C-alpha cells in the first residue's frame, strides 16, 4: 500500500505541481506521519493557476510550500525545443529541487508519476531515474482513475482537476520557444477557462491558435464562436478549431 512507502521515511521532499497526482501523494505522505516538504519550481512553463492551486493545497495541509523561481528559457537545449526537451527540463528542475531539499536535510525526493503514465515514451523520466527520484504512486501500482477516486474520498479539491501538461507542449517540436509565445498561450487559455471551458489546449500552429477541446464541449464552442474569436484574437491573428476532439 502507498501508506507503507512512507512509514519508514522521516523527511521527504515532494516535487509538487498542484495537480491531482502530486496532491494525493502529498496527502498520503502527511497522513502516514511523514514530514513531507513540498517544492514548487516556478518557470515560464507553468501558468499562474498551478502555483495558486499548489499554495491552496499546502495551506489546507498546514505545510509551508517552498517556491523556487527558475528561468528555464536561459537553457539553449530548452529553447531549441527538440524531441528531448523534456529530458533537459526535468533534469534542470529536479536538480534545483535536489539542491534545496538537501540543504533542508531531506533524505529522499519523490514525484507524482503514476502507473498510468507511459514511462518508456517520456524522455523526462530518464532524468528522474538518473537523479534518484522515487515515484511512489507508480511503484505501488496506482493508476490515474484510482488516484482520482482516492482523492475524492479524501476530500481533495484536485480530485477531478483536468490533466495539465506544461505550456511548452503547446509549441510544436523544433519551433523555438520564447516567453512572448508562452504568455500568449497562457492568456488565451485563461480566457477560454473564463468562458466555462475545461480540459482543452490552445496550441500554436504556424503562429495561429489551434483550439483542441473535448467532444462534449464542441457544440458550446460553436455556439460561442464570436466570443471565442473576439477573446483569442487579442493574442493570435488566426484562430482555428481542431475537429479532432480531445477524448
> What does each C-alpha distance from 24 to 19, 113, 119, 173, 220 come to in angstroms?
9, 11, 20, 31, 32
Tell me what pLDDT residue 19 has.
94
At residue 41, does pLDDT exceed 60? yes
- Quote the percentage of the chain above a pLDDT of 90: 85
Fold of 2-154: Rossmann fold (3.40.50)
Tell me what pLDDT residue 15 has.
97
At residue 246, does pLDDT exceed 80? no
Which whole number is the average pLDDT over 30-42? Answer: 96
Tell me what pLDDT residue 117 has.
81
pLDDT class of 120 with cuts at 50, 70, 90: low
Tell me what pLDDT residue 247 has.
63
Round to the nearest angstrom and report the end-to-end CA distance of the chain.
31
**CA distance linking residue 86 with residue 125, whole number of Å:** 9
Span 184-207, pLDDT tens digits? 999 999 999 999 999 899 999 998
Instruction: Return all residues near 155 (Cβ < 8 A) that are at least 6 apart.
Output: none
pLDDT class of 119 with cuts at 50, 70, 90: low
Alpha helix (H) residue ranges in the chain: 2-7, 20-31, 48-61, 76-79, 85-103, 123-130, 136-139, 144-154, 179-194, 218-223, 225-232
Question: Which value, to the nearest 10 degrees, does the dihedral of the CA atoms of residues 123, 146, 165, 29 take?
Answer: -80
- Quote the percentage of the chain above a pLDDT of 70: 98
Name the DSSP class of 134. Answer: B
Write the DSSP string, 175-186. SPP-HHHHHHHH
**CA distance linking residue 128 with residue 135, whole number of Å:** 9
Longest Cα–Cα distance in the chain: 57
At residue 22, does pLDDT exceed 70? yes
Question: Which value, to the nearest 10 degrees, does the dihedral of the CA atoms of residues 213, 215, 217, 221 take?
Answer: 60
Tell me what pLDDT residue 134 has.
95
Q: What is the mean pLDDT of the chain?
A: 93
Question: Which value, to the nearest 10 degrees, does the dihedral of the CA atoms of residues 166, 172, 178, 183 take?
Answer: -50
> What does each C-alpha distance from 162 to 45, 176, 246 come to in angstroms?
17, 27, 12
At residue 121, does pLDDT exceed 60? no
> What does each C-alpha distance from 143 to 9, 96, 106, 107 come to in angstroms?
23, 28, 27, 26
- Beta carbons of 21 and 137 less than 8 angstroms apart: yes
pLDDT class of 116 with cuts at 50, 70, 90: confident
Which whole number is the average pLDDT over 86-92? Answer: 95
At residue 135, does pLDDT exceed 80? yes
Which whole number is the average pLDDT over 164-180? Answer: 95
Tell me what pLDDT residue 245 has.
74
Structural domain boundaries of the chain? 2-154, 178-239
At residue 14, does pLDDT exceed 90? yes
Amino acid at each position: 500500500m502507498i501508506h507503507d512507502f512512507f512509514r519508514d521515511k522521516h523527511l521527504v521532499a515532494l516535487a509538487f505541481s498542484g495537480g491531482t497526482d502530486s496532491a494525493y501523494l502529498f496527502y498520503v505522505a502527511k497522513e502516514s506521519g511523514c514530514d513531507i516538504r513540498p517544492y514548487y519550481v516556478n518557470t515560464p512553463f507553468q501558468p499562474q493557476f498551478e502555483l495558486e492551486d499548489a499554495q491552496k493545497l499546502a495551506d489546507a495541509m498546514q505545510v509551508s510550500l517552498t517556491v523556487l523561481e527558475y528561468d528555464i528559457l536561459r537553457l539553449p537545449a530548452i529553447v531549441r525545443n527538440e524531441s528531448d526537451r523534456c529530458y533537459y527540463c526535468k533534469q534542470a528542475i529536479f536538480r534545483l529541487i535536489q539542491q534545496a531539499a538537501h540543504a533542508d536535510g531531506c533524505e529522499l525526493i519523490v514525484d507524482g508519476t503514476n502507473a498510468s503514465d507511459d514511462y518508456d515514451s517520456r524522455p523526462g523520466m530518464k532524468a528522474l531515474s538518473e537523479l534518484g527520484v522515487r515515484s511512489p504512486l507508480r511503484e505501488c501500482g496506482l493508476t490515474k482513475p484510482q488516484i482520482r477516486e482516492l482523492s475524492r474520498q479524501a476530500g481533495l479539491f484536485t480530485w477531478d482537476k483536468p490533466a495539465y501538461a506544461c505550456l511548452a507542449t503547446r509549441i510544436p517540436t523544433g519551433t523555438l520557444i520564447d516567453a512572448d509565445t508562452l504568455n500568449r498561450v497562457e492568456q488565451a487559455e485563461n480566457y477560454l477557462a473564463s468562458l466555462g471551458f475545461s480540459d482543452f489546449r490552445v496550441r500554436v500552429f504556424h503562429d495561429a491558435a489551434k483550439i483542441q477541446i473535448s467532444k462534449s464541449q464542441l457544440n458550446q464552442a460553436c455556439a460561442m464562436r464570436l466570443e471565442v474569436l473576439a477573446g483569442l484574437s487579442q493574442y493570435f491573428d488566426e484562430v482555428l478549431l481542431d475537429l479532432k476532439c480531445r477524448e
